[in-house]
């Protein structure tokens, strides 16, 4: 018995806000599948993801298979005071006694979402989407949050140089512990994977 061939990614491309809105249901399904969330989570997240496209510096990268189906998605924008995530991280840094939250929060790009369909994980696709997304974005740093625990996402973030900013933090409305990770921009250059 031979192993089934691994799924292919044929194209990685930047999506406009309109293209993102057209693909929103697909993007949210990848999010739910990758994170193991209940299906209803997609409906709950749709308004927030739609609102994010209006933020300064919003940028989105999608990965597509040979049938033009979305198999990976990443997006982010410039973080700013008053945004929910920004204020949550500021509060967390103050709670742990960070000397100066502004070291990280004064000029950063928020990597808001990065998800690859489980059938496509482990092939380097997440790193390719991440690198394309963060190429030439504004900000002196990039920040993200991810659930605590040993995952492929953790290995990716460590591999590209993210370090701890805040650990075991519980965001309002989610009982799981999260890590906030950050690193200076730009990312270190590396040769691009061919053919994508």
- Residue 145 belongs to what H/E stretch? strand 141-147
Residue with tokens 């650990």: 167
Please answer whether residues 111 and 143 qualify as being in contact, where contact means their C-beta atoms are separated by less than 8 angstroms. Answer: yes
Residues with Cβ within 8 Å of residue 30, at least 6 apart in sequence: 70, 71, 72, 73, 115, 116, 117
Provide the β-strand partners of residue 114.
74
> Is 31 marked active-site?
no
Please say whether the dihedral angle defined by the alpha carbons of residues 79, 85, 86 and 92, taken in this order, is positive or negative: negative
Residue with tokens 């190429």: 135
Which has the closest alpha carbon to 50: 79, 70, 29, 20?
20
Catalytic residue among 31, 108, 109, 157: 157
User: Which residues are the active-site residues?
Assistant: 157
């Amino acid at each position: 018995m031979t192993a089934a061939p691994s799924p292919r990614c044929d194209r990685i491309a930047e999506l406009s806000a309109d293209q993102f809105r057209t693909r929103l249901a697909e993007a949210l399904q990848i999010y739910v599948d990758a994170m193991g969330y209940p299906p209803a989570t997609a409906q709950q997240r749709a308004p927030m993801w739609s609102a994010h496209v209006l933020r300064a510096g919003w940028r989105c990268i999608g990965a597509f298979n040979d049938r033009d189906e979305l198999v990976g998605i990443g997006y982010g924008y410039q973080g700013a005071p008053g945004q929910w995530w920004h204020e949550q991280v500021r509060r967390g840094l103050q709670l742990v006694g960070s000397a100066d939250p502004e070291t990280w929060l004064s000029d950063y790009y928020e990597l808001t979402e990065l998800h690859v369909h489980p059938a496509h994980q482990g092939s380097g696709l997440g790193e390719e989407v991440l690198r394309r997304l963060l190429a030439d974005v504004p900000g002196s740093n990039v920040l993200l949050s991810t659930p605590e625990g040993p995952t492929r996402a953790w290995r990716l973030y460590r591999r590209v140089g993210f370090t701890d900013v805040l650990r075991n933090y519980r965001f309002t409305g989610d009982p799981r512990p999260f890590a906030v990770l950050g690193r200076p921009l730009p990312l270190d250059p590396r040769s691009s994977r061919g053919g994508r």
